[in-house]
Structure 1
Amino acid sequence: MSDAYSAAGRARWWGILAAACVIAVLPLVFRDSYWRTNLIVCALNVMLAIGLDFVVGYAGQLNLGQSAFYGIGAYVSTLLIMRLGLPFWPAFVCGVVASALSGMVLSLFAVRLRGHYLAIASLGFAVITYQVLLNWISLTQGPLGIYGIAPPPPVGLPGWQIDFTDLANLFYLVAGFALLSYVLLDQLVRSPIGETLTAIREDEVSAASLGINARLWKVFAFAVGTAVAGGAGCFYAGFVGTLVPDAFFITESFNILAMVIVGGMGTLSGPVFGAILLTVLPEFLRGIGDLRLIVYGLALTLVVLFMPGGIAQALRLARDRLMRASSRQTAGAKP
C-alpha cells in the first residue's frame, strides 16, 4: 500500500513538473499578442476554477458567488494602489485577504444552509456585491469603471529586468501563481484536512458524530477557495488595465461553475482542463459567428450527459483501458 501511495505521489510531482514545462514553452509557441492574451485568461480561469472546486468538489458547498470574490480582490487591490499609493504586492496580499474574509463572512451566515439554499444565499451575495460595485460611484466609478491600472511592477535581477508589460512575462507570473495555487490545494486535499472535508461532504451528520466541527471546516474551505479567486482578481486588474462591474456579473459565477463541472468536480486536475477548454473553445468557434453559441452549448450538454464525471473521468477511463490493453499484451507475449 505504501509503495502504491509513493508511486502515486511521484506521478503527481512528475505531472506538476510537466505542467511547469508546458507553461515555460507556451509563450514561445504562441508569439502573437492575441493568443498570449488568451493564455493569461486561461491561467486566471484555472485559478478561479480550482478555488471553486475546493469549496464545491471537496467541501460539498455549492458556492455561486465566486465572481463576487473575484471582483473583491480586483477592486480592493486596485483602490489601495490608486487611492492610497500602496505598492502592488502589499495591495495584492490585501486583495487576497479581503476576498478570504468576505468568503468567511458569507460562510458564517450561510453555514447552516445546504444545497440549493446555500446556492441561493451565495448567489444573493454575488448580486449584492455587483450592485455595490455598480452604485458606489464615489469609490468604484460605477459603470464608468476605473482606468489606467498599471500591471505589476518590474522585477529587477542582476543584469536582467522582468517587465510585466510584456504579455509573455505576465503569463509566466499568472501561470506560476496558478500552478502554486494548484500545488497548495493539492497538498491540502491529500492531507487529513482533505479527508475531513470529504467526510463533511459525504455525510455531515456522521462527520459530526466523529467529533468533526463541520461549521469550522466549511468556513475554512470558503476562506481558502475565495482567497484563490481574490488572487486571480488582483492579477486581472493589472492585466486588463480597466475595471468595470460587468466583468464580475453573476454570469461569471456560472461560467466558472461550468468549468468545474466539465472538468470534473472533486479532482482539482479536472477543473484545470475544464477552464482551459471553456476558455479556448469559444475562440476556435469564433469564425462561425453566432452558431458558436449553439455548438458551445451542445458541447457542454454532451459532456454533462455522457461524461458526468467530466474530463477527469474520461482521462481515467482512457488510462485504465490503456493499462489493461498493455497488461494483456504483456501476458500474451509470455511463453
Structure 2
Amino acid sequence: MTFLVCVLGLAILPLVWPDPYMLSVVASAGIFIIAAISLNLLLGFTGQLSLGHVAFFGLGAYTTSLLSLGFDVTLWGMSEPLVVDPKPVWLSFVCGIVFAAVAGWLLGKLAFRVRGAYFVIVTISFAQVMRMVALNWVDLTEGPMALNGIPALTLWVPGEGVIDLVTKASTYWLVLAVGVLSYLLVAAIVHSRVGRAMIALRENEVLARSVGIRVTHYLGIATIFAAGIAGAAGGLYAHTVRIIDPDVFMFMFTIMMVIMVIVGGKGTLAGPVVGGLLFGLLPEVLRGVVSPEIQWMIYGVLMIAVLVFMPKGVVPSAGNLLRRYSARAGKTPAPLARRKTA
C-alpha cells in the first residue's frame, strides 16, 4: 500500500509542480536511482562490490544509440564495411538492455572465479577497457567527438499517433515507469528462491555452499539482471540527453551509485531510492542558498553524518526508529493500585 501511494505521489508531481527545471533534475536523479537499484542487487543482496558497474550503464547507452542512429564499420578481416541501418528506438533500447546483460554474464563467468579485492579489480578493469574502446574506436563511436542527434524514445497516443517523448514531463514519466518496473523486478527476484540463495551467499558463503547452493550460478544470475537494469538506465540516459561520449564510463558514476546504495541502506529495496533522492536533489536544493564551495562542504558533512550516525543507512535506521516508537506507543502504563483505606 505504501509503495502504491509513493508511486501515485511521484506520478502526479508534474501536474502539481510543472517547473521544467525541477522535473529535469528529478528525472536525471531517477536515471541514476535505476542504476543504483541494479547495483544494490549485487552489493546489497549478494555482498559483491562491483566498482565497474558503470560499464553496463555505458554499454546500454552506446548500444541503443548506435542502433537507433545506424552505423557502418569495417571489422578486422572484412573487405566490405558492415552497414547497419537505423533501427526503431524501442528495439534499440531493448537491444541495449540485452547486450548489457550478456556482457554481465560474460564478466560474471570470468570475475566470479575470484573474490574480494581481486573481483573489484576485475570489474574496474572491465569498465576502463570499455571507456578506452569508446574513446579510441572513432570509426564506430566517434570517440571524443561524441554521438549526437540520438532520437528520443516514442509513445503511441490514441488520436495523435506516435509522439516523441521530448518534453520534461514526458521524460519524467518515462523514467518513473522504467524505475518502477526495475524496482518490482528486483523485489520479485529478492523474494524468490533465487533471492534467498543470494542472501545466503551474502551472509555466509561457506555455509551456503555446504548446503548445496551453487555459488557461481546464483552470482551469475544476479550479475545478468543487475547489468541489464544498468543498461536500461544507460539507454534512458542516452535517449533523454541525446548526446553521449566516453565520459559516460566515468568512474565517478560508479561512486555515485555506491554512495546512493550505502547511504540509503544496502540490502533494502527502498535504500537506493532514498539515497538517490538525497544524493541527486540536495545539491539543487542548496544551489540558490549558498555558494558552490559551501554546497559541497555541506553535502560532504551530511554524507559523513549519515554514515556515522546511521551506519546501516537511512532506511534501516528509520525503520528501527519507527518500530521502537510503535513499541513504546503500544505499551500502556499499568493502573496504579489503589491504597486500601481503613
TM-score by length of 1: 0.91
Deviations 1:74-104 (A, max 9, x none): 0001100101211011111110011111111
Cα RMSD (Å): 1.7
**1:61-80 equivalent positions in 2, closer than 5 A:** 61-80=48-67
**1:1-335 equivalent positions in 2, closer than 5 A:** 14-83=1-70, 84-158=85-159, 163-287=164-288, 288-328=291-331, 331-332=332-333
2:76 match:
none
Aligned residues of 2:89 and 2:151 also touching (Cα < 8 A): no
* Residue identity in the other structure for 1:21: L
* Residue identity in the other structure for 2:187: D
Structure of larger gyration radius? 2
Aligned residues of 1:54 and 1:185 also touching (Cα < 8 A): yes
Per-residue deviation, 1:197: 0.3
CA–CA distance in structure 2, aligned partners of residues 195 and 247 of structure 1: 33
Residues 1:20 and 1:307: Cα distance change in structure 2 (over 3 Å): same
Per-residue deviation, 1:305: 1.5
CA–CA distance in structure 2, aligned partners of residues 205 and 322 of structure 1: 38
* Secondary structure of 1:154 counterpart: strand
* Residue identity in the other structure for 1:45: F
CA–CA distance in structure 2, aligned partners of residues 217 and 326 of structure 1: 42
CA–CA distance in structure 1, aligned partners of residues 240 and 195 of structure 2: 33
Residues 1:333 and 1:244: Cα distance change in structure 2 (over 3 Å): farther
Aligned residues of 2:69 and 2:151 also touching (Cα < 8 A): no
* Secondary structure of 1:290 counterpart: helix
* Secondary structure of 2:157 counterpart: strand
* Residue identity in the other structure for 2:325: L
* Residue identity in the other structure for 1:322: Y
Aligned residues of 1:45 and 1:276 also touching (Cα < 8 A): no
Per-residue deviation, 1:145: 0.5
Per-residue deviation, 1:162: 5.5
Bigger proportion of residues as helix? 1
Identity of aligned residues (%): 36
Deviations 1:154-192 (A, max 9, x none): 322246766411211121111111011101111110111
Aligned residues of 1:148 and 1:241 also touching (Cα < 8 A): yes
* Secondary structure of 1:266 counterpart: coil
Aligned residues of 1:162 and 1:169 also touching (Cα < 8 A): no
TM-score by length of 2: 0.89
Deviations 1:18-43 (A, max 9, x none): 12212212112331221010121122
The gaps in structure 1 that reach 5 residues or longer are: 1-13
CA–CA distance in structure 1, aligned partners of residues 269 and 136 of structure 2: 36
Aligned residues: 320
Aligned residues of 1:259 and 1:271 also touching (Cα < 8 A): yes
